[in-house]
Amino acid sequence: MTSAETSAERTTKALRSARWQSWPRWVARATLLWAVSYAGFGLACALTGTPLLHHGGAPMGSGAGWVVLGVGALGAAVSGAVLLCTLRPALRVLLLVVCGLAGIAAFSLLMDVITLVLGQGVDSWVSTAHKVLAAVGAVLLAATARSGRDRPVRVTVRAPSAAPRPIRLGARAGTLAFVPYAAMKLVWASGGTFAGITGEEMLAISERNGASGVFLTLESWGLDPTALLAVLGVFLLWGLVRPWGQVFPRWTPFLRGRRVPRWLPLAPALLGAATLAPYGVAGIGYLALATTGAVPMRRGDFHSTGDALLVGWIGMAAFAVYGIALTLAARSYWLRTRPVRPTGGKARGGPGA
């Protein structure tokens, strides 16, 4: 190794060290800015009586604005304390609590994203903006909670590996859970009848609900967009559990053979898991009560309550099983792609490999 190469390597190490040392400060500042903005957003909604919660397109009161104000104020107080003093264990716990509250507030953001991709309108743009703001806050709060930990200057990248067998079995279950859902959608898209609803009736319902021209065109071709999204979801799931999900394929220009950035599959996986798993599990619980007659079941666009229950069971079972499988696969991917901490010297690192 030449002296020039040694100097360049030392410069790179110094830049990495400076970057990691400055990261905790700017991420805490960004979190404080978010918290103040989030509190202001909640105050504006509370004073104007703008509802942030909707169910079935109907607004559900305006009291949520005061809750958002409280969460934002707590986040501002905690992140401000982090900037004024060191990140103590109690502050880290409070950051994680606010992070959890922001994550709950961002629930169903994925559903809004899907409806927008399909060209349909959301229940409320204010509610969607709130979910986006809450999701950003959850990321910043989690980063601030971890910012006090030491970061490695030099790390070793793990070789691509497959998930353990139980995780792969979960991926199979998540894939199979979407088969009845995709089949049901394709039956309607091809003009068939399922649960008492014909393909023409379903197309008319989609058009009445504001579906885009692209959505309706795909439906007329026998391709249901939600079934295509299910295929993409299964592709993401298997990319998380198989080694090929960690390296760009050979046919990708300029990226062939390079490692996939961890955030690229983990970002949609975490968003999907945080939405689909609780949505599906809660939906199954409600359907179980509705099946026994403990709670009423709305018929909606279906001709009978039994038809609505049948479609509901197919959809919620797919969301629940896939969401749980995606959660386990994302955690496995996170652990398998963590950089390895150096074993010798005084190098500092995060959680052990």
Q: Tell me how far CA of residue 144 lies from CA of 85, 129, 135, 263, in angstroms.
A: 13, 23, 14, 17
Give a yes or no: residue 180 inside a domain: yes
Instruction: Please indicate, yes or no, whether residues 190 and 88 belong to a single structural domain of this protein.
Output: no
Give a yes or no: residue 45 inside a domain: yes
Determine how β-strand 197-198 pairs with β-strand 193-194: antiparallel
Instruction: Please indicate, yes or no, whether residues 62 and 110 belong to a single structural domain of this protein.
Output: yes
Instruction: Please indicate, yes or no, whether residues 324 and 177 belong to a single structural domain of this protein.
Output: yes
Nearest to 274 by CA among 102, 26, 28: 102
Give the percent of the chain with pLDDT over 70: 82
Give a yes or no: residue 295 inside a domain: yes
Whole-number pLDDT of residue 316:
94
Whole-number pLDDT of residue 251:
74
Task: State which residues form the domain around 243.
Answer: 165-336
Instruction: Please indicate, yes or no, whether residues 135 and 196 belong to a single structural domain of this protein.
Output: no
> Is residue 24 scored above 80 in pLDDT?
no
Instruction: Please indicate, yes or no, whether residues 135 and 47 belong to a single structural domain of this protein.
Output: yes
Instruction: Please indicate, yes or no, whether residues 53 and 106 belong to a single structural domain of this protein.
Output: yes
Q: Which residues pair with 55 in a beta bridge?
A: 58
- pLDDT (mean) for 327-335: 95
> Is residue 4 scored above 60 in pLDDT?
no
Report the distance separating Cα 32 and Cα 80, nearest Å: 6
Total domains in the chain come to 2
CB contact burial 88-101 (16+ within 10 A = b; e otherwise)? eeebbebbbbbbeb
Whole-number pLDDT of residue 209:
72
> Is residue 321 scored above 60 in pLDDT?
yes
Nearest to 97 by CA among 54, 60, 142: 142
Instruction: Please indicate, yes or no, whether residues 174 and 313 belong to a single structural domain of this protein.
Output: yes
Instruction: Please indicate, yes or no, whether residues 325 and 209 belong to a single structural domain of this protein.
Output: yes
Q: In this predicted model, what pLDDT tens digit does every residue of 100-144 receive, in sequence order? A: 899 888 877 777 777 776 656 666 788 888 889 998 999 899 888
Give the percent of the chain with pLDDT over 90: 38
Instruction: Please indicate, yes or no, whether residues 139 and 193 belong to a single structural domain of this protein.
Output: no
Whole-number pLDDT of residue 85:
81
Give a yes or no: residue 31 inside a domain: yes
